Every structure is written in structure tokens, then in C-alpha cells.
């Protein structure tokens, strides 16, 4: 009799035990910083790290007083959409399709080359870009422009900083979609290609009717995932243009960083970060709404009692 | 409608020869099954016909014209794949209509032909569903409709029934055969299932290890198999093959002996089908035996009996009076249907055992 009750106790205890490691990490590195950030946002913490008053001034500043905000938002929008459309999704799709169409060995070689920038340290990658677009005649691009075409040297970092950060991030970003979509294309059953050919489809029609439809799901996932990651990361921008000249290539996340750590306005930076976080949460909820959260949830493979 | 021929067609992947040079001729409107165990090259043969694989050597001919250089999309063949290979994101209607997209068919004509094809295989009520919403049997019908809609010269079926349950398999077998007869298409069915091959095909190509073992009607393959492979592959329950030594007209097998109708010498294999043996009480004549195993199959019962020439399988009707397991019995052999094979496994024609 008494033994019959033992499993009931186990049933309650074990899920908590299973979740404990992940939950504690989540608490320590995700939830605690959010709470602290929200706390700081309502203070007047400055360079001295001293808090003397609770205030709503930081939010006033975001919503009106800060003249930089509209420019920063426009820059961020242009940067994210252009990088996403042309590189992180567009180039990724093209690379996945072309590298799976050629022989396996050649395809693997090209994919290897495209993954290199992701593998190399950000500082080295950024330094290479700085050299490529350097305004002196010794810059790689200027050697081509002046040496081969005989034109005046370009100063892209000064004249078109947004273009430079889009290119630099795009060349790294394309490899993510390339890897994901390559495996998607590989997992299309061979019989479907055979069937399409027997049905009379040309190479182009096979691409349109067999390959592209299968990419739809993964492309949506990549779009949302990469949009969020482009919104919050700024290390290449920081290293290549430092957001400049002035604020011309400063995206929202970098603006948060510059306000907080360059200007020493920690409280204002914290308030700006809350807005970014809210946007991210809304975006994720929208994604759930559109595609259901089923894509992130499957039945467990084992049953925990 | 087309007549098909292979002239010394072979296929290799690198060093591996999956199909040895093969000759083949299939008449217009004929239904032929390619039968063999997995890995014998039967699907390769089908894909060579469809133009999905290019032959390593030899010629593929349709109506006497070499089609080696003709792309799959220009051969006008219809295939039903084992996995059905339906386009998952398209409705049944779009799937069936897909081959017509690439022909100059106007819209009205296209939708009319799609409905016709769907009617033919009785899936017209599912036209607006996606393949994932259909059962295996329904998907199979969609695949058949897609293969038929463009009115192909040749219909190729790759293990068409292997993913269906037993009852459905039986009805589809008859249905596919009826459709094939009605449309009169030259048809090839690849299968590893001998019942499927024997019931659906006019002729069977039995393959083993990348080569043709025998081509013939179902009855020829059953009654006059070319070698021990075909004899063993065709027939269920399978034939019993017993190896022995022949000296003159006597064939020594195990501790027993049989008498041959002609004298020969060397290693000889005797083949006895379970249905050509009769089990009776001892003293009624025949080979003394002892019943070892009893396997009821419903209408029939399969007995395993131990005799001087080795273990034999005997098929008897369920109601027949048969000695129970462990009891002595006697086996009578229908000598006219006995098969004898030489040392290389080839059947020796006009040789039997004496009753």
C-alpha cells in the first residue's frame, strides 16, 4: 500500500530537478539583468555611478527631447532591412541553391569559403574591411579603383558608412541562411526531383516548384531570427565605423552603447535598452501569432515521470 | 503506346556495375513485371527507361529509335514512385495537373483532363486536399493519376503497392491491371513481390545481381525455371532444393536415392515444390517420412517432414487426413513436376525423377 504513493511524489519532484540548471542560468543571465536594467532606467545614474534620485526624465528624453532618435531609427531600419533582404536571406538562398547544384566537393569548398568570416575573430574581420575601404590609395578597393579604372580614390567609410556596415555584416550573415537552407535542400527527397523531371519540368521549373516551396518555412525563421540579431548586435559597426562619421552609421543598439558607455549616461542607456527589449518581445510574439509556437514545440521523446 | 528494347544496356556507378549488359524487348501494350530481391538492379532498369539515369553502355530504343540522348522530360513516360513523390505543398489537383503545365494545354482542357484522371482512379472527391491529408492508398491513387494524366506512351511503376496494407494491395492490383488493359499502355512494374508480378504481368523479367535470370510468362517461370535462383524465388511456400550426386540413372541424396528418367553424372540439385507432394499414411507407397512441423495457413497446412533424402515441405488441404506430428508417414511425389538442376544451377530440360 505505502509503496503505491512513492511514484506520486517522484512525479512532482522530478520536472523541477530537470529544469533547475537551465532555469538558474536563465534567472542569473537573463531575468536578473532585465530587472537591474529596469531599475537603473528609473534613476539618474551617471558616470560616477551614484544614484541620487528616482526619475522619469529618461523616458521623457526618449519620447521627445532627444533629437537623435528619429535619425537613429531610420538608420537602424535601413541597415536591418537592407542587410536582411540582400544578404542574410537573399544571398543565403542564392548560395544554398548554387552550392547544392554544383558537385559536392566544389559546393563544400564554396560554402567553406563563405563561412570563413564567421569563423574568424570579429576584430580581424573588421580590420580587413577597414583596409578594403581605406581612403588612402593603398586601400584594397582604391588600388582597384585608381589602378585599374583610373578614377579618384573613394572614401566609403566617410561618404557611405551605412553601405560599408551593410556589406560587412551581410558577408558574415549570409552564411547562416546558406547552412540552414543547404540542409533543407539536401533533405528534399530525390524522388521529387525525379518526378518533376519525368513530369516535364525544366531545371528552372524544378527550382520554382520543388526547391523554393520547401525553403518557405526556413526562410521565415531565418528572417525573424536574423532581424532580431541584427537589431541587437553591433560589434562590426563599432569596430569598422564606430557609428560614425558623427552618428551616420549608428544603429539603435550601438546608440544605447554609445550613450551609456561613451557618454556615461547609464540611466539613459538603460531606458533606451528597455525600448529595444520591448520591441524584441513584440516581434517574437508576432512571430508566434503568425506561425504558431508549434515550430518550437514538439512532443517529448522521453517521458519524465 | 510504345515498343521498348534494350540492346546490351549496362549501368555502373564508378567501379560498381549495378546492371550487367542486358537485352530486352517489350511489345506495344504489354504489361511486364521486373521481379527480383532488393539490390538486383530492377529499379535501375526502370530509371534507365525513364531517362533519369544514362546507360554506361548500350542502347535504349523506343519504337526502334535510340533514345539514349533524349531527356526524361521528352520521353513521355509516366512513373509512380514507391514513395509516391507527390509535391507536398501542392493540392491534389495541382499535383495531377503538374505534368500538363509543361505541355501546351489550355486551361479548360487542363482542368477537364485532371478531373478525368482523378475519376479514373476514384479520388475526385479529394482534389482540393494536400497530399499530407490523404491516406497511403489515396496518395498512391494521386500518384497514378499524375502519371496517367499526360497520356504517356509508357507507364512505369516502382514498387507501387509495397506501402499499402494487404487488403488494399489486392484490390489495387486488380484495379491497376484493369486500367492498364483499358488504356493499352506499355507498362513496367518493378516489384520484389512474386504474387504482384504473377497476377499483374503478362511476362516477368526475373533479375538477380544486376543480370536477367529469366524472362517468361508467370507459368513458365513457375513450371520451367531457368535456374535454382528463379525456382527458389518464385513459388510460395518456397520450393525445396536438395543437392545430390548422380551416377547413371540413380541420384543419391542424403542417405536415400531417387531414380532418374535418363542417365547423367555429377552434382545434381533436385527441386520439389510443396504443392507437388502428398502426405499419406505409411504403407500407401512413397517415401517413408516422419512429420516434424505443422504450420496451419488457413485453407492449407504446411508440413515439414523428415525423409531419407532430407527435410521436405508438403502443402496439404486443411481437411486432409494426415498423420499427426511425430508419427510415421509417407510422401508421394508428383514426379512429372520435379525439377533437376546441374552443378551450375541451370535446369536440365527433359529430365525428371521416376515415380
Give the pLDDT mean for A291-299: 62
CB B288 within 8 A of CB B330: yes
Tell me the chain B residues in contact with residue A199 when contact means C-beta distances shorter than 8 Å.
Answer: 73, 98-99, 102, 146, 150
From B233's Cα to the closest Cα of chain A, the distance in A is: 28
Smallest CA–CA distance from B103 into chain A, residue: A200
Total residue count of chain B as it appears in this document: 355
Q: Residue A6: is its pLDDT beyond 80?
A: no
Q: Among B47, B52, B87, select the one facing A192 at the smallest CB separation.
A: B87
B300-307 and B310-317 beta bridge pairing:
antiparallel
pLDDT of residue B184: 87
CA B145 to chain centre: 23
Give the pLDDT confidence of A58-77 residue by residue, as tens digits. Answer: 888 888 878 888 899 999 99
Give the pLDDT mean for A19-26: 93
Q: Residue A9: is its pLDDT beyond 70?
A: no
Give the pLDDT confidence of B150-160 residue by residue, as tens digits. Answer: 889 899 999 88
Q: Residue A3: is its pLDDT beyond 70?
A: no
The answer to whether A200 contacts B81, with C-beta atoms less than 8 Å apart, is no
Tell me the chain B residues in contact with residue A196 when contact means C-beta distances shorter than 8 Å.
Answer: 87, 98
Q: Residue B25: is its pLDDT beyond 50?
A: yes
Q: Residue B210: is its pLDDT beyond 70?
A: yes
Q: Between vectors from CA B161 to CA B160 and to CA B163, what angle results, nearest 5°? A: 105
* Residue B131 banded pLDDT, cuts 50, 70, 90: very high
Give the pLDDT confidence of A90-141 residue by residue, as tens digits. Answer: 999 999 999 988 888 999 999 999 998 888 898 999 999 999 988 888 888 8
Is A203 in the B-facing interface, judged by CB distances under 8 Å? no
Q: Among B50, B73, B90, select the one facing A200 at the smallest CB separation.
A: B73
Which H/E stretch holds residue B10? strand B4-13
Smallest CA–CA distance from A215 into chain B, residue: B89
From B90's Cα to the closest Cα of chain A, the distance in A is: 9
Is B20 in the A-facing interface, judged by CB distances under 8 Å? no
The answer to whether B73 contacts A213, with C-beta atoms less than 8 Å apart, is no
Give the pLDDT confidence of B52-71 residue by residue, as tens digits. Answer: 999 999 999 999 899 988 88
- Three cell numbers written together for A110: 564554396
Give the pLDDT confidence of B85-95 residue by residue, as tens digits. Answer: 999 999 999 99
Tell me the chain A residues in contact with residue B87 when contact means C-beta distances shorter than 8 Å.
Answer: 192, 195-196, 209-210, 213
Cis amide linkage into residue B237, ω under 30° from 0: yes
pLDDT of residue B353: 85
Going from N- to C-terminal start, the domains of chain A cover 51-291
Is B250 in the A-facing interface, judged by CB distances under 8 Å? no
Q: Which residues of B92-112 are buried (b: 16+ CB within 10 A; e: fewer)?
A: bbbbbbbbbeeeebeeeebee
- Distance separating alpha carbons of residues B329 and B322, to the nearest angstrom: 8
A 214-253 residues with CB below 8 A of B?
Answer: 214, 216
The answer to whether A197 contacts B87, with C-beta atoms less than 8 Å apart, is no
Q: Residue A29: is its pLDDT beyond 60?
A: yes
Backbone angles phi, psi at A120, to 5 degrees: -80, 150
**Bridge partner residues of B188 (DSSP):** B32, B156
From B172's Cα to the closest Cα of chain A, the distance in A is: 21
- Distance separating alpha carbons of residues B264 and A233, to the nearest angstrom: 88
pLDDT of residue A1: 46
Is B117 in the A-facing interface, judged by CB distances under 8 Å? no
CA B340 to chain centre: 22
- Distance separating alpha carbons of residues B230 and B37, to the nearest angstrom: 11
Q: Which residue has the higher pLDDT, B148 or A302?
A: B148
Tell me the chain B residues in contact with residue A214 when contact means C-beta distances shorter than 8 Å.
Answer: 88-89
Give the pLDDT mean for B315-334: 82
- pLDDT, mean over chain A: 86
Q: Match 511425430 to its residue by C-alpha cell.
A: B326
Tell me the chain B residues in contact with residue A194 when contact means C-beta distances shorter than 8 Å.
Answer: 47, 50, 52, 72, 79, 81, 85
Tell me the chain B residues in contact with residue A204 when contact means C-beta distances shorter than 8 Å.
Answer: none
Q: Residue B163: is its pLDDT beyond 90?
A: no
- pLDDT, mean over chain B: 89
Interface test with B, best of A198, A203, A214, A216 (most B CBs within 10 A): A198
Q: Among A195, A201, A216, select the one facing B85 at the smallest CB separation.
A: A195
- Distance separating alpha carbons of residues B36 and B265, to the nearest angstrom: 31
A51-291, CATH topology level? MetI-like fold (1.10.3720)
Amino acid at each position: 500500500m505505502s509503496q503505491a504513493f512513492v511514484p506520486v511524489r517522484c512525479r512532482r519532484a522530478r520536472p523541477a530537478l530537470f529544469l533547475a540548471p537551465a532555469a538558474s542560468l536563465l534567472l542569473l543571465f537573463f531575468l536578473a539583468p532585465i530587472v537591474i536594467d529596469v531599475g537603473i532606467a528609473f534613476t539618474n545614474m551617471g558616470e560616477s555611478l551614484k544614484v541620487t534620485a528616482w526619475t522619469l526624465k529618461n523616458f521623457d528624453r526618449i519620447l521627445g527631447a532627444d533629437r537623435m532618435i528619429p535619425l537613429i531609427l531610420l538608420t537602424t531600419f535601413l541597415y536591418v532591412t537592407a542587410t536582411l533582404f540582400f544578404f542574410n536571406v537573399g544571398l543565403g538562398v542564392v548560395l544554398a541553391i548554387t552550392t547544392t547544384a554544383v558537385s559536392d566537393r566544389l559546393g563544400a569548398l564554396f560554402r567553406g569559403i563563405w563561412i570563413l568570416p564567421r569563423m574568424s575573430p570579429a576584430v580581424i574581420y573588421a580590420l580587413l574591411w577597414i583596409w578594403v575601404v581605406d581612403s588612402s590609395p593603398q586601400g584594397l578597393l582604391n588600388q582597384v579603383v585608381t589602378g585599374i579604372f583610373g578614377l579618384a580614390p573613394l572614401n566609403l567609410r566617410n561618404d557611405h558608412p551605412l553601405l560599408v556596415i551593410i556589406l560587412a555584416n551581410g558577408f558574415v550573415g549570409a552564411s547562416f541562411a546558406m547552412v540552414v537552407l543547404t540542409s533543407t535542400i539536401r533533405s528534399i527527397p530525390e524522388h521529387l526531383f525525379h518526378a518533376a523531371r519525368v513530369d516535364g519540368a525544366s531545371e528552372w521549373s524544378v527550382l520554382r516548384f520543388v526547391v523554393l516551396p520547401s525553403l518557405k518555412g526556413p526562410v521565415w525563421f531565418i528572417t525573424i531570427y536574423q532581424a532580431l540579431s541584427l537589431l541587437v548586435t553591433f560589434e562590426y559597426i563599432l569596430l569598422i565605423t564606430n557609428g560614425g562619421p558623427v552618428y551616420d552609421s549608428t544603429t539603435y543598439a550601438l546608440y544605447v552603447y554609445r550613450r551609456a558607455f561613451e557618454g556615461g549616461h547609464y540611466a539613459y542607456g538603460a531606458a533606451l535598452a528597455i525600448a529595444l527589449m520591448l520591441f524584441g518581445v513584440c516581434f517574437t510574439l508576432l512571430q508566434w501569432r503568425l506561425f504558431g509556437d508549434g515550430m518550437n514545440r514538439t512532443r517529448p521523446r522521453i517521458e519524465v515521470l | 503506346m510504345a515498343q521498348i528494347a534494350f540492346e546490351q544496356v549496362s549501368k555502373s556507378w564508378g567501379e560498381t556495375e549495378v546492371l550487367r549488359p542486358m537485352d530486352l524487348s517489350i511489345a506495344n501494350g504489354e504489361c511486364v513485371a521486373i521481379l527480383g530481391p532488393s539490390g538486383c538492379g530492377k529499379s535501375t532498369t526502370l530509371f534507365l527507361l525513364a531517362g533519369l539515369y544514362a546507360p554506361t553502355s548500350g542502347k535504349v530504343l523506343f519504337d526502334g529509335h535510340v533514345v539514349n540522348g533524349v531527356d526524361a522530360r521528352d520521353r513521355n513516360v509516366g512513373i509512380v514512385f514507391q514513395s509516391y513523390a507527390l509535391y507536398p505543398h501542392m493540392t491534389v489537383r495541382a499535383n495531377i495537373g503538374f505534368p500538363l503545365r509543361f505541355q501546351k494545354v489550355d486551361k479548360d482542357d487542363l482542368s477537364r483532363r485532371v478531373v478525368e484522371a482523378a475519376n479514373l482512379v476514384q479520388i475526385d472527391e479529394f482534389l482540393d486536399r494536400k497530399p499530407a491529408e490523404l491516406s497511403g492508398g489515396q496518395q498512391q491513387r494521386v500518384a497514378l493519376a499524375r502519371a496517367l494524366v499526360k497520356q504517356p506512351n509508357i507507364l512505369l511503376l516502382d514498387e507501387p503497392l509495397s506501402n499499402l496494407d494487404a487488403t488494399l494491395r489486392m484490390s489495387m492490383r486488380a484495379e491497376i491491371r484493369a486500367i492498364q488493359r483499358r488504356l493499352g499502355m506499355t507498362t513496367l512494374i518493378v516489384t520484389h513481390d512474386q504474387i504482384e508480378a504473377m497476377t499483374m504481368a503478362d511476362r516477368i523479367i526475373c533479375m538477380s545481381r544486376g543480370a536477367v535470370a529469366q524472362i517468361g510468362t508467370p507459368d513458365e517461370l513457375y513450371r520451367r525455371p531457368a535456374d535454382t535462383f528463379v525456382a527458389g524465388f518464385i513459388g510460395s511456400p518456397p520450393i525445396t532444393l536438395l543437392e545430390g550426386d548422380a551416377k547413371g540413372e540413380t541420384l543419391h541424396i542424403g542417405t536415400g536415392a531417387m531414380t532418374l528418367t535418363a542417365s547423367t553424372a555429377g552434382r545434381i540439385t533436385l527441386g520439389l515444390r510443396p504443392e507437388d507432394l502428398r502426405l499419406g499414411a505409411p504403407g500407401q507407397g512413397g517415401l517413408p517420412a516422419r512429420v516434424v512441423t505443422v504450420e496451419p495457413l488457413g485453407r492449407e497446412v504446411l508440413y515439414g517432414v523428415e525423409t531419407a533424402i532430407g527435410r521436405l515441405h508438403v502443402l496439404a488441404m486443411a481437411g486432409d487426413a494426415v498423420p499427426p506430428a511425430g508419427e510415421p508417414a509417407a510422401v508421394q511425389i508428383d514426379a512429372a513436376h520435379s525439377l533437376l538442376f546441374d552443378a551450375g544451377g541451370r535446369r536440365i530440360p527433359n529430365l525428371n525423377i521416376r515415380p
